[in-house]
Amino acid sequence: MNLDVTFRSEIVKRIRAFFDARGYLEVHTPRMVELPGQEPYLEPFWTKLHDIHGHEFDRALITSPEYAMKKLLASGFGKIYDLGPCFRDGEPSDGSHVPEFLMLEWYRKDADLQSLMDETEEMVRHAGRGIREAELERSFRRLTVAEAMERHARIQLDAFLDDREKMAALIKERDGIVHEHDTWDDLFFKIFLSEVEPKLGWSEDKTKWQPTFLWNYPISQAAMAEKNPNDSRYALRTELYIGDLELGNGFQELTDAEEQRRRFIEEIELRKSLGKKIWGLDETLLEALPKISKASGMSFGVDRLVMLLEKK
């Protein structure tokens, strides 16, 4: 990921100006923590911290500032953003992943998922003004995951939700490979990553960008997103695709501490089954969640946006 330093600096300035003008407070959260995110498929970098007496402690570089920022929301801040480095180990070497990258993450109280998508679209247009403006002038499309699966993979997703055997049979019908240890989500992504994701950020003939928000994810992929109150099989989560890049991942935030505890425990069990390092729950975060009440937040890859805007 070789980016033009001057161009990158200009995009970062534009992002800061966008949020500053809207009354957001920029915060700088800790980059080294005791309890990093629990995501099963993200790996923190671990290091050792030593105190003056020679005692040794495990610490991790954050994969995202999410936990710290939610604690700030719970303490009374209403509109915050963090623009700083994040770190992920074991990432694929595909040109769009690096072990250290610049992450933009922002949260706003009393905001729902649709307004989060609105704001993300406005921010991207602001960053690209006068650079790739014509290619971003089209309204950003919004597709539910079910709509995208039907459009691009000819699958009525509702009929397959949480039915591993039915999903496995479908993949075999399409000459795909199913392993005994594959979960429902593993099988879902065998189709999604090959038949759906490559088409999301493009026009039908794949000659022009068609920025697209994918939203309403199966509840098994909710992470820290609230359940959809109109259909509890899905969660209020969104991702933004432009061209070949996935740029952002956002939630209408889950503030039910017991539900979040249950999900964390499920993630820990999945990490165990994958032979990965595990660690304890962040009880301070769980205690803070109900104090947030309602909020939405987005994590956004700044370096990917720079790649997109500077590409000729």
Residue 105: band (very low, low, confident or very high) from pLDDT cuts 50, 70, 90: very high
d(CA 42, CA 277): 11
- Using only C-alpha atoms, the chain has a radius of gyration, in whole angstroms, of 20
Residue 234: band (very low, low, confident or very high) from pLDDT cuts 50, 70, 90: very high
d(CA 282, CA 37): 9
d(CA 249, CA 264): 18
- By the 10 Å C-beta count (0-12 exposed, 13-18 middle, 19+ buried), 222 is classed as buried
Using a pLDDT cut of 70, give the percent of the chain over it: 98
Using a pLDDT cut of 90, give the percent of the chain over it: 93
- The predicted pLDDT at position 94 comes to 73
146 contacts 216 by C-beta, under 8 angstroms = yes
Report residue 179 as tokens. Answer: 């392993």
312 has pLDDT over 70: no
**CB burial string 88-116: b at 16+ within 10 A, e below:** beeeeeeebeeeebbbbbbbbbebebeeb
- Spatial neighbors of 171 by CB under 8 A, at least 6 apart, are 177, 178, 187, 190, 191
d(CA 68, CA 72): 6
Name the nearest CA neighbour of 259 among 230, 308, 225: 225
d(CA 86, CA 64): 6
Report residue 206 as tokens. Answer: 């794949």
SS3 of residue 242 by DSSP:
strand
DSSP states along 249-277: EEEEB---HHHHHHHHHHHHHHHHHTT--
Residue 311: band (very low, low, confident or very high) from pLDDT cuts 50, 70, 90: confident
- The predicted pLDDT at position 21 comes to 98
Q: Phi/psi at 86 (nearest 5 deg)?
A: -130, 165
Name the nearest CA neighbour of 289 among 252, 260, 250, 251: 260
Q: Give strand pairing partners of 300.
A: 104, 248
- The predicted pLDDT at position 1 comes to 60
Q: Which amino acid is at 174?
A: R
- The predicted pLDDT at position 284 comes to 98
Name the nearest CA neighbour of 220 among 207, 232, 205: 232
| pLDDT tens sequence across 180-209 | 999 999 999 999 999 999 999 999 998 999
Report residue 167 as tokens. Answer: 């999903």
Superfamily of domain 5-140+211-310: Bira Bifunctional Protein; Domain 2 (3.30.930.10)
